[in-house]
Amino acid sequence: MVTDHTPVDTRKRRLRDLRISVTDRCNLRCTYCMPAEVFGPDYKFLPRSEILDYEELARLARVFAALGVSKLRITGGEPLLRRDLPDFIAMLAGIPGIEDIALTTNGILLPKLAKPLAQAGLNRVTVSLDSLDDETFGKLNGRGVGVKPVLAGIEAAEQAGLGPVKVNMVVQRGVNDQDILPMAEFFRGSGRILRFIEFMDVGTTNGWRMDKVVPSREVWRVINQRWPLESAEPNYQGEVARRWRYADGQGEIGLISSVTNTFCGDCTRARLSARGELYTCLFAATGTDLRGPLRAGKTDAELRALVEGVWKAREDRYSEIRNENTAGLPKAEMSYLGG
């Protein structure tokens, strides 16, 4: 909902979506996100006192909603690890102006949580799955977890009414690019929407190199050769996935070209880290502390003015200026600020 307060940044992009990271922890160690060598047994995750509690997060969500945010996405780390998550969803669902609450998860805990989350007001889930081959997937997720628990999670979400489920696959050359067709085949005609994501240089620990990126146009070519694709209209302006429909009516796929066909010009997303910092770009090194002012007793109007000021000054367009050299710039880890 656009309000009188809805801020517009220096590139005329309004604030519309908020991604809330509820934890920096995860039960997996995907090599492209939280490599086990870096996020090992001695890694210092945020202590509980550093993390915003649900009341605090919901209060900030309310502040963002008053500025025109209508879509929320809960993420992390692995959001389903945070205790009593359905209680938080219920709080968010009650905020005036919030029209859509989605969640991104690795799916493993969905069999237990899908139903209570749906009952609390969650609308949709996106589940990450990078391969249908247990060995490839187990290596990629750094914990040897097989495909079955994730598929069980997807089914649980559907049964709870959280469909159509979107499935995110991060494609890396020489790692899981052989799985493009098997994944497409498996999800075709299933009612689930498979989205291929280009491997991104988020954070500084995942060993990103341009030659590991499989460009979306290559994914498109491989699939189109086997099952012809037709262009589909975006669902809304600023949708990150470019939609393609199977010409034979077996559903659709999405291509997220964060590296080769950037979408900064339409980027209406803000991110709130578990520690309560506002990030205006996935590739930013630092965020603006909202927890300090919140805990110091600032009013909603004061917090709103703070967020508004940050958004109005926003200039981010990292993906447009990315090159081999920018990959080494300081950046917050994705598991920390929320994917």
Q: Point out which residues bind ligand SAM (CB under 6 A).
A: 26, 32-33, 75-76, 78, 104-106, 128, 168, 170, 197, 199-200, 202, 206, 334-335, 339
Contact partner at residue 110 from ligand SF4, ligand SAM, none, CB < 5 to 8 Å by partner kind? none
What gap in Å lies between CA 10 and CA 338, rounded to an integer? 23
| Count of positions (residues) in the chain | 339
Stretches 43-51, 148-156, 229-237, 277-285: which one binds ligand SF4 (CB under 6 A)?
Answer: 277-285
Contact pattern from residue 83 through residue 122 relative to ligand SF4, giving x for each residue in contact according to CB under 6 A and a dash for the rest: -----------------------x----------------
Distance CA 322, CA 320 (A): 6
Helix (H) or strand (E) segment spanning residue 216: helix 216-226
* Host H or E run for residue 255: strand 252-256
Q: Which of 34, 160, 180, 256 binds ligand SF4 (CB under 6 A)?
A: 34
Phi-psi region of 186 (alpha: psi -120 to 50; beta: other; left: phi over 0): alpha
* Site stretch for ligand SF4 (CB under 6 A), options 23-31, 50-58, 83-91, 225-233: 23-31
The site partner of 241 among ligand SAM, ligand SF4, none (C-beta below 5 to 8 Å per kind) is: none
Which residue number, 19 or 62, has a Cβ lying nearer to ligand SF4? 19
CA-wise closest residue to 97 among 65, 61, 63: 65
Judged by beta carbon, residue 21 or residue 123, the one nearer ligand SF4 is 21
If binding is defined by CB under 6 A, does position 311 make contact with ligand SF4?
A: no
Q: What's 164's DSSP letter?
A: S
Q: How many CB atoms lie within 10 A of CB 202?
A: 21
Ordered strands of the 166-171 beta sheet: 229-231, 242-246, 252-256, 193-198, 166-171, 124-128, 100-105, 71-75, 17-21, 269-272, 277-279, 288-289
Contact present, 336 and 24 (Cβ < 8 Å)? yes
Return the one option of ligand SAM, ligand SF4, none that residue 282 interacts with (CB less than 5 to 8 A, by type). ligand SF4
Sole window of 60-68, 131-139, 223-231, 261-269 interacting with ligand SF4 (rule: CB under 6 A): 261-269
**Element spanning 222, H or E:** helix 216-226
Among residues 145, 281, 307, 332, the one that binds ligand SF4 under rule CB under 6 A: 281
The minimum distance between CB 1 and ligand SAM, in angstroms, equals: 26
Strand 242-246 and strand 252-256: pairing? antiparallel
Task: Report the nearest approach of ligand SF4 to the CB of residue 301 (Å).
Answer: 27
Q: Shortest gap between Cβ of 48 and ligand SF4 (angstroms)?
A: 19
Residue nearest to ligand SAM (CB): 339
Q: Say which entry of ligand SF4, ligand SAM, none residue 172 contacts (CB below 5 to 8 A, set by partner kind).
A: none
| 171 belongs to the binding site for ligand SF4 (CB under 6 A) | no
The reply on whether position 316 binds ligand SF4 by CB under 6 A is: yes
Q: Tell me the helix, strand and coil percentages in the chain, rounded to 5.
A: 35, 15, 50
Identify which of residues 28 and 294 has a Cβ nearer to ligand SF4 in the complex.
Answer: 28
Q: Check binding of 145 to ligand SF4 (CB under 6 A).
A: no
Give bridge partners of residue 75 from the DSSP assignment.
21
